[in-house]
Amino acid sequence: MTAFSLLRSLDSVPPTLRGGVVAIGNFDGCHRGHQHVFRAARALSDRTGRPLIMLTFEPHPRDVFAPEPFMFRLTDGEQKARLAAAFGFSAIAIMPFSRTLAAVEAEEFVKTYFVEALEASAVVVGADFHFGRARAGTPAFLRDAGNRHGFEVHQLDLIGEAGETISSSLIREALEAGDVTSANTLFGYHWIIEGTVIMGDQRGRTLGFPTANFSLPANSRLAEGVYAVRVKLGNRRFDGVAGYGKPMFDNTQPPFEAHILDFDEDIYGAHIEVALVCHLRENHQFNGVGDLIAQMNRDKQRAREIVTAARPISDLDRHLGFISRGQGPEGA
């Protein structure tokens, strides 16, 4: 099996990755709508024996044109790379997005990147994807360009859930409302957040619930509250319960705090990944520390039951290494 490649630009594409099937888009979240594009591209790659390439952009184009980054991002470049590998791509090319790139004429973009850099045999896009100066690179333009330059173009219609088109915006709204279950269904896997474990205020340890704390991006709008989670430390996996926000204590920029069940190690400085399984409850004010501890014990027990029973939403969960128990994906 060919090793997965991560390309930070298209300046020097290896010969083994030229002539491939290219799925292009921002792909924030790599959700089920995006996976519709991925599956079509993979089927074409399998049929032709060509390499399968994801072409995406970082930072998000909307952040480039904003006074400061504001997008509630679902997946950064590194996360998209892991998802691309799990989905069977040969490589991901993460193009640095800038105002300069945005000003490139659509025809020049096609010639420079699809034709010369990638020598693409086929390009697969969603119906809403545009590129080039003034977003002139519409799907219709791309089909015409493919005819002129000799590569196939496959445009995929958007897919829906309960009457709504699956989109990154819809998922952000669900996460902001604390509806992790709906968000995960739209993702097609359990959503993952990650960071470096930092020193907290040690309050959890004094309460009998030591936590691994890490910071979420400043533009994250994940709902505060208590979550049932699955935790990965290196190659090890654990069940956990996590809190975000501290209503009883003064902390204007709270970290995400994961209490790892049946675990007691010093992991400061370690990289931690957390898959959100379920939003258990909103944050509450308690009459005293005793009431808080009692509720934390209830949260811990409920989280243990929920995570133990959790099944993969799709095979992506298994490939990502978080949710691997049960007889098969939900709905299988």
Q: What residue type is 144 in one-letter code?
A: D
Q: Record the pTM.
A: 0.91
- Quick check: 7 and 93 in contact, CB under 8 A? yes
Domains in the chain and their CATH numbers? 5-161 (3.40.50.620), 191-320 (2.40.30.30)
Work out the angle between the directed axes of helices 168-176 and 180-187 (0-180°, nearest 10). 160
Dist CA 248 CA 287 (whole Å): 10
Q: Show pLDDT as tens, one digit a residue, over the chain (332 residues).
A: 568 999 999 999 999 999 999 999 999 999 999 999 999 999 999 999 999 999 999 999 999 998 888 899 999 999 999 999 999 999 999 999 999 999 999 999 999 999 999 999 999 999 889 999 999 999 899 999 999 999 999 999 888 776 688 999 999 999 999 999 999 999 999 999 999 999 876 665 666 688 999 999 988 999 999 999 999 999 999 999 999 986 545 555 679 999 999 998 999 999 999 999 999 999 888 888 888 889 899 999 999 999 999 999 999 888 888 776 654 555 44
Task: With CA atoms as reference, report the closest residue to 87 among 98, 97, 75.
Answer: 75
Task: With CA atoms as reference, report the closest residue to 171 among 141, 147, 191.
Answer: 191
